[in-house]
Amino acid sequence: MADTGKTSRVAKNSLGRAIPDSFLGRALRPYGDPFSFRPTGMAASRPVRRVNPGDNKVLGSLREAIEASGLRDGMAIGTHHHLRNGDALLNAVVREIAAMGIRDITIAGSSIHPVHEELIPYIRDGVITRIESGVNGAISRMVSSGELNVPIITRTHGGRARAMMTGDIHVDVAFLAAPTCDRYGNICASKGPSACGVVGYGHSDADWAGCVVAVTDNLVPYPAFPISIPQSKVDYVVPVDSLGDPGKIVSTTTRVTTDPIGLQIAKYAAAVIDASGLLKAGFSFQTGAGGTSLAVAANVRDMMRTRAITGSFGAGGITGYFVEMLEEGLLEALFDVQSFDLRAVDSARRNEAHIEMSADMYANPFNAGCVVNQLDCVVLGAREVDMDFNVNVNTESDGRLSGNTGGHADTAAGAKLAIVVAPSIRARLPIVRDAVTTVSTPGETVDAVVTERGVALNGKYRDIARDLTRRGIPVKTIEQLKDEVYGITGVPRPITFTDKVVGLIEYRDGSITDVVRQVAG
Amino acid sequence: MAREKLRRSLLYVPGNLPALLQNIPTFQCDVCIIDLEDAVPRAEKDAARLLTRRFLDSYRHRNKEIFVRINGLDTPYFQDDLAATLPALPDGVRLPKCESPELVERLDHLLIGFEEEIGCEPELFKIIASVESAQGILNVSRTAQASPRLTALGFSAEDYAASLHIDRPKSGEHLLVPRQLLLMACRAVGIQAIDTVWADTMDMDGFRQECELIKVLGFDGKSLINPRQIDIVHEVFAPKPAEVDYALQVVEAIVGAREQGTGVVALAGKMIDAPVVARAVRVLMAAKSLGMIDTDIDESVIHGKD
């Protein structure tokens, strides 16, 4: 097993988090601030190639593709997570790799879901020895408790695009699930039995991986379109019977919450947006697909309707809610990195104003300008928030790693107004607390924390307090919120960790906001 | 003059559910009624009293009125309900099944005893009594006068309809007479009238229509069973900007008149006296709660400072 950081020296980053100076032999740069770090040098490269008239890209099986790709011990594979918990491809690829006797593989996909718990035996056997991907579910929890030994590096969506561009991660072979594909490798994401709308997270793999394999359960005559990823970036095409379980790929519908607490939070968040003065012609915003976030979107939609405001764009993971706003003329365009429900998939296929957006275009801080920089407002969730407005989305209340940063830190940094919405208490645990277990998103990029008990404002948005109070919204300091919540829950007992670092939380610029240590006992 | 408090939205919260009790400070209703009666199964009466007491003890920065709905005076529970919760100083008690003035009087005596025992000021605890049957409606004018603590009468349509052996159609035409009788009884003695709950929490349109109806009838507010209903009542009861402007002028005029040593003044040719001022104050309190105006309204405006 590789160096785990146990013996390296530790220094505090600007968030006060103890960061080892190296991990897995790689020197770590502690987080300083969101914007100052200047990259130097050239983008990564990969081999040039030539495909001549008459050459065939279609291979008979995953095994043939693995052989053709030249994958061998110690290399990295990439996948995208657009099939979410319905994905069967990553498990199938790893099974095949193991059967071929290949070992010491890094999984450098965009995300790992609970369905990939099937990989656990392959981690135990040494087929997989590193994960450079956010991990949802049992694998990361087992890593946290020492039951599994595989270091995990989680990146933001923009951070993964950046790391592939800079060569911090090199994916040797990308296996891209292609809901529809032709024999020459044009990938269309919005058609087919496994349609997922767009494949925004797969674009970096197509751009930078040493070899790109499209795996499809819907091979169609040339040309497949609308094209998400073009033939010019795809080396091989492998038809398979099924890419996964369509029922788990996208939700049939995503719904506004009916929970009164969620609705109250949404009402307060909408008031913050209104008081910020940003809600005017050209307004752009992004929310998650959770019920409370959608309730904020519903409130914003109502305000835009009433005041006849036309916004410019909605971005991020796209839901039917945003599609409705587009179709109603409240938004001019949608930038879609990931379609969350069937309405979004349908819209991606037929509406030219519904634009597929790569993770690079979405959030990479080291390109010539990403979409998050154009956002007026983003509404984000949180597992924990602390007195510095730092947000944790990576670890659970027991200290175990489980979860991606996703676009959280990217959009918080980019948007003019970043609002974090969360209930103040979840299952008797305080969500607003002295210090978060893990810093996923630095508090200096968070402008407001909205709970059902009130709104805490940060930085330049503190001066909207008066306006909010006038509207009957309780404005409190973050300390007052915490005290109120601790008054109900009591002070949470601290979690004890060993010194062993099991995972890194990498910021979008490649610096380290936090590390995850093994939970003791 | 606590009678002039806004009581548009009175939300029931079951006393045996801590996950809901803890949210009471966050709800933006005018009143929360912690229920020890119908919402609480018999086996949980004790737990509900204990939880309510502990919650109220911890809820120090009160941001709304709290009433405790005790079990009826014909049950073996009400005495324990009062003993457990009054020391935590709720604003008052909601008395269910109030069929006659004698029940209010009986509760009044009990409260005197508790106030002496606790050592708090007399008449601290208010009463909102619920009229729930044909008998109760026929007695309502006497009930309304039964105690100076009586702040409002509530109406319970569900039990009333049952007492008349009828279903409860959503349109509510069968409720017009009891509603108006109750309202007149309240207005005759200057207390507030609170309408019945709307049971179908999925039918928000029906709920809104009923709110509009009871506003026209003259009710001060409505009992609620779901927090999602709060904003709708407030929207329906929101004063129009013109009403707010007029109310501001009324208050300005009366304050000016008092400085001149008179309690009556004309505004645009119309006489402004105490009832007009009282109405203006109610409008301004509602406007303030909805963020329509900034100014705090002092109830002393109505009758002048002592």
Least confident of A167-171, B28-32, B119-123, B279-283: B279-283
Any domain includes B7: yes
- Mean pLDDT taken over chain A: 95
Would the CB atoms of B227 and A267 count as touching at under 8 Å? no
Query: What phi, psi does A42 have (nearest 5°)?
Result: -105, 160
pLDDT of A3 > 50? The answer is no
Domain-ending residue, one of B184, B218, B237: B237
- Whether residues B7 and B144 fall in one domain: yes
Same-domain check for residues B16 and B122 = yes
Q: Is residue B306 in a domain?
A: no
CATH of domain A57-250+500-507+513-519: 3.40.1080.10
What digits encode the pLDDT tens for the residues A365-400?
999 999 999 999 999 999 999 999 999 999 998 999
pLDDT digits (tens, 9 = 90+) for A79-111: 999 999 999 999 999 999 999 999 999 999 999
Enter the tokens of residue A233: 């970036």
Q: In 3D, which of A258, A271, A294 has the Cα closest to residue A474?
A: A271
Residue A17: C-alpha distances to residues A26, A30, A32, A505 (Å): 18, 9, 11, 11
Residue where a domain terminates, one of B237, B255, B275: B237
All structural domains of chain A with their residue ranges: 57-250+500-507+513-519, 260-494
Looking at residue A254, what is its pLDDT? Answer: 77
B40 shares its domain with B118: yes
Return the CATH number at B113: 3.20.20.60
Q: What is the pLDDT of residues B144-173, one digit of tens each?
A: 999 999 999 999 999 999 898 887 777 888
CB contact A487 to B (< 8 Å):
yes
- Residue A2 pLDDT exceeds 50: no
Over pLDDT 70: what percentage of chain A? 99
Same domain, B229 and B289: no
B224 and B107, same structural domain? Answer: yes
**Same-domain check for residues B154 and B250:** no
Domain for residue B277, yes or no?
yes
Q: What's the first-to-final CA gap in chain A, in angstroms?
A: 21
Would A57-250+500-507+513-519 and A260-494 be classified into the same CATH topology?
A: yes
> Which of B216, B237, B258 is where one domain is finished?
B237
In whole angstroms, how far apart are CA A393 and each of A387, A400, A441, B190?
16, 11, 8, 55
Residue B214: pLDDT band with limits 50, 70, 90? very high
Ranking A81-95, A134-148, A250-264, A286-300 by mean pLDDT, the lowest is A250-264
Q: Are residues B87 and B180 in the same domain?
A: yes
Q: Pick from B23, B231, B290: which is nearest to A452 by CB?
A: B23
- State the residue range of the domain holding B255: 241-301
Total domains in the fold of chain B: 2
Nearest to B23 among A261, A472, A484 (CB): A261
Q: B27, A488: Cβ pair inside 8 Å?
A: no
- Assess if residue B98 is contained within a domain: yes
Q: What whole-number distance in Å separates Cα of residue A358 and Cα of residue A161? A: 9
Q: Using a CB–CB cutoff of 8 Å, tell me whether A471 touches chain B.
A: yes
Same domain flag for B123 and B184: yes
Contacts A452 to B, Cβ<8 Å: 23, 26
Mutate which of A257, A259, A261, A481 to disrupt the B interface (most B C-beta within 10 Å)?
A: A261
The reply to whether residue B26 touches residue A487, judged by beta carbons under 8 angstroms, is no
Measure in Å the smallest separation between the Cα of A279 and chain B Cα atoms. Answer: 19
pLDDT tens by residue, A145-159: 989 999 999 999 999
Least confident of A5-19, A191-205, A254-268, B76-90: A5-19
Are residues B222 and B246 part of one domain? Answer: no
CATH code, residues A260-494: 3.40.1080.10
First to last CA, chain B: 13
Cβ pairs bridging A and B (under 8 Å): 32
Q: Is there a single domain that holds both residue B27 and residue B108?
A: yes
Length of chain B: 306
Among A152-161, A195-204, A431-440, B162-171, which is the least confidently predicted range? B162-171
Residue B170 is assigned to a structural domain of this protein: yes
| Residues B260, B193 share a domain | no
Nearest chain B residue to A455 by CA: give it: B26
Interval B233-274: pLDDT, tens: 999 999 999 999 999 999 888 888 888 887 778 888 888 888
User: Which residue in the set A263, A472, A488 is minimally distant from B228, CB to CB?
Assistant: A263
- pLDDT > 70: what percent of chain B? 97
Burial of residue A241 (number of CB atoms within 10 Å: 0-12, 13-18, 19+): exposed
Chain B residues with CB under 8 Å of A261 CB are 23, 26
Q: Per DSSP, what are the bridge partners of residue A336?
A: A316, A356
Please tell me which residue of chain A has the smallest CA distance to B61.
Answer: A484
B148 with B30, same domain: the answer is yes
Mean pLDDT to the nearest integer, B183-193: 96
CB–CB of A476/A448 below 8 Å?
Answer: no
| Res B2: pLDDT | 43
